[in-house]
Chains A and B, each alone.
Chain A
Amino acid sequence: MSLALKLTGLTKDFPVGKRLLGPPRAVVHAVQPVTLDVETGETLGIVGESGCGKSTLARMLVGLLPPTEGAIEIEGEALNAANPAEFGKKIQYVFQDPLSSLNPRKTIRQIMDAPLKNLHGMAAPARRKRIAQIFAAVNLREEFLDRYPHEFSGGQAQRIGIARALAAEARILILDEPVSALDVSVQAQVLNLLADLKTEFGLTYLFITHDLAVVEAVSDRIAVLYFGALVELGPAERIFNAPRHPYTKLLADSAPVVGRDLSAPEGKETELPDPLNPPPGCSFAARCPRATERCRAEVPVLEDKGSGVAAACFHPLEG
């Protein structure tokens, strides 16, 4: 299998309290070095709670944010100059909020034309043909093309968002919470559509979400992010059934599941670590029942813990 995406030590720091001259007052490490391979045709799920850096990571992958350090290789080619136009032909993004990702003052046709015209320099008749093909693929009627975004429901708008990403002919799609703004009945429609498109066009997906059940249902492998760092990576069928990292276990135990009694898996009140003042060791140590002195002093690295699961933990759970 060839690699669709190869990330090496990808890092993003945000300066806080910028001054006109001189260095900023503080630096937030939004994404700590992430090294990750994604195979062609794979769906990699990325889960994490709000503020864990999953959207920052995604925005770096499509060139909307320049990484502070590290390298991105797409289909074997290094792409480091954050230039969305160059990235755009290889990797595209589907946004969380389908309506705010469509310009309210443009018709759907104008929106669909943009990537074809700017990335591929297609002439009008060729564009027309290509849009018709894509719209057929995402089950949208062509008469929608002359309407404006506000005339569509969330599910339809998300299909348009997906159609736009496909129009760029990118083979890798970053799906940033693509269904979390949709109702459950529509959510299933869009997830199934994504699955069909993947087979039809041989796509590779990075599926970012906070919904564990959804990510488990669609992914081949799942990466768990906590506080900007990758804490566990493994096959989808194992990761929540047999978590190795205590944080993954906490996530899995917190998800409301029919037939499981209500209990807060964390007894005491805990808060996320302060990004401006991160703890010296493992960022999960303060919430972790297994934490020891070593965890509070040393940062664990992501390493193989057997059966294809890698975790960043000194005291992993039994798989």
Chain B
Amino acid sequence: MSAFLKLLARNQLALAGLIVMGIVVVLALLTPLLPLADPDVTNTPARFTPPFSEGAWLGTDHLGRDLLSRLMWGTRLSLAVGFAAATIAATLGAAIGIISGFYGGRVDNIIMRFVDVLMAFPYILLALAIVAALGPGLMNALIAVAAVNIPFFARNIRGITVGIAHKEFVDAARLAGLSDAKIILTEILPNVLPVIVIAMSTTVGWMILETAGLSFLGLGSQPPQADLGSMLGEARNALITNPHTSIVPGVMILIIVMAINLLGDGVRDALDPRLKSGALNRPLPATLVARPAGYTAPAPDGEAVLQLAGLETQFHVGRRTYRAVGGVDLQISPGECVGLIGESGSGKSVTALSIMGLVASPPGKITGGSVFYKGQDLVGAPYERLRSLRGRRVAYIFQDPLATLHPLYTVGDQLIEAVRCHRNVPKSEARAHAIELLRAVRIPNAADRVDSYPHELSGGMRQRVGIAMALANDPEVIIADEPTTALDVTVQAQILTLLDDLRRDRGLAILFITHDFGVVAQLCDRVAVMYAGRIVEDGTVDDILAAPAHPYTKRLMACVPELGGGRRRLEAIPGLPPVVDNLPDGCAFADRCDKARDACRQGTIPLDPLGATRRVRCIDPELQEASA
């Protein structure tokens, strides 16, 4: 609750709305206690007294009734009717929506078609029809306004409920023996409640206006009872001669509706998880770079097509700093496949995204090191330079092809766009090239498949399209971030073979990110193992898999069952990886390592060479090579 208020207060307009609304509500509540004139007592001789007169601050109306008193009582009534209508509409609408969404099928179909019919009428017409049927009166106006708004709530809540009703926790509740009614009340309702509140906060102002509209037409509150709408309606004839009679209720409606809407927007922003996570803040086109002053890039290695030198990437969230990548050195030569292996949170994906400045900023920031592409430092390079290289020289393949392909364009259109983005070729030529690319990734019937939409393809086929897109501009480096994790084993074998053939045929350099040692063993030449944002060990795949030097690598490999090993107990690593906003001194693995001693928890442990081709970040490696 306090977090909610804090978020709300960050939006100053919403805070202003909250304060204004608070004052109005308090005044409305206190009205019966205030020393006001009777709002309904007429005094025709004193009609149309101008404002700021003796005994009538806001003047009087056409029957000489005190406007201040009528305004206060009217506001009280209008607010009460508006809130009551909103509550009724929200309760009934949410109930209908939840039932419809929860049961689905025929129940859903019938309810929603009925709601659709209601929504097809203009709301004011529907409200007028309801009042005409029930007869004028404030209660009936309230019913009409509530009824008109039920479909809005029903549709909104149904959509959310459908999503929640298929969540696994609902199944779990069924298995725990809960009845449907209990599931709706204890599992579904708490999860849709924020949405109901959001919908209410943004519609309450609208309902006050609608009620005022009906009263204005004489269908709501009946004389002599005052509400804001009927006050406006009665003042209509004197609009020119005595404008204050209209202005007083008019300004009040303006204030209330403005304040409620500002507050409602604030409530929505504070409650909506998407807005809270900042997802609607568009990230910058390239990751921000904040290297320490006086940073001088080391001399690049001549052979490598891509070289990372001391790369550091951090995320600044609130007061916390997450050191996702804490100084990574890595190089890839043409035609080489380097595996980057690690568990989730080890920083392997952030490393990959940092190369081309693709880490979302804010909150991401490259805080040190360099990325050399053929000797040029890409960190801090101008955006245009990065853009010309992205996809052209360095291309990415991501884990989930369904999420990376646009669902509304055919795969051909997307490939053509990828080609034409970097090369000025006519569309027909780009299309021919797209078909050629699909053939290159061995999609059967490429000429037909080019016009398919992503959802028409199987997971394996989609990932082939993802690879085709990466190949579109003959890149020199492909960064593949778990490209086969979401695929079945038989499909994975095909995709891995394809990548392997492509790299041999085209001399591609591949940075292959994965958590699977089997995949690394089959595809990669060298491998680097990451833990808590740092490389703990690297070297050739054969060496490392045969004899891991870092205790983490050794124990991680022991965790993974291998096919053909038979039934056995696995060697688990106790504990969890450290959170990268609070890394310990020394070795990040020390707390989980059975060889750890005091020296492991001090200073920074360097990535030292071990033999000619290996490096390991451990003061007591598993392997004491004589040639080291």
Contacts and interface: CB of A to CB of B under 8 A. Distances in A.
A106 B177 contact: no
Interface stretch (B72-80, B365-373, B519-527, B597-605): B519-527
B191 A101 contact: no
Interface string B155-190: 000000000000111011111111100100011001
Contact of A119 (B177, B461, B565): B177
A101 B444 CA distance: 39
B210 to A, nearest CB: 32
Contacts of B105: 18
B561 interface: yes
Contacts of A101: 167-169, 171-172
A161 B522 CA distance: 35
A217 B567 contact: yes
A106 to B, nearest CB: 7
A218 B567 contact: yes
A188 B178 contact: no
Contacts of A259: 521, 545
A236 B565 CA distance: 11
A100 B169 CA distance: 6
Given A100-B167, A251-B490, A272-B458, A256 B521 contact: yes
A119 B444 CA distance: 53
Given A256-B492, A264-B494, A168 B561 contact: no
Given A97-B168, A164-B172, A266-B490, A88 B177 contact: yes
Contacts of B591: none
Most buried by B among A63, A85, A97, A210: A85
Contacts of B573: 185, 188-189
A256 B493 contact: yes
Contacts of A253: 493
Interface in B489-547: 489-494, 496-497, 500, 515-519, 521-523, 545
Interface residues of B, number: 67
Nearest to B106: A20
Contacts of A77: none
A192 to B, nearest CB: 5
B211 to A, nearest CB: 33
B539 to A, nearest CB: 15
B493 A105 contact: no
Contacts of A192: 569-570, 572
Contact of B518 (A62, A106, A255): A255
Contacts of B106: 20
Contact of B563 (A97, A216, A266): A216
A241 B562 CA distance: 12
A101 B443 CA distance: 37
A217 B168 contact: no
Interface of B: 105-106, 109, 167-169, 171-179, 182, 186-187, 190-191, 343-344, 442-444, 458-459, 461, 488-494, 496-497, 500, 515-519, 521-523, 545, 555-556, 559-574, 576-577
16 contacts: A49-B490, A64-B174, A87-B175, A101-B167, A114-B176, A188-B571, A188-B573, A189-B573, A219-B567, A251-B490, A253-B493, A256-B492, A257-B562, A262-B500, A265-B493, A269-B443
In order of increasing CB-CB distance, the 10 nearest A-B pairs are A256-B518, A118-B177, A188-B572, A49-B488, A115-B176, A101-B168, A217-B561, A262-B522, A85-B177, A188-B570
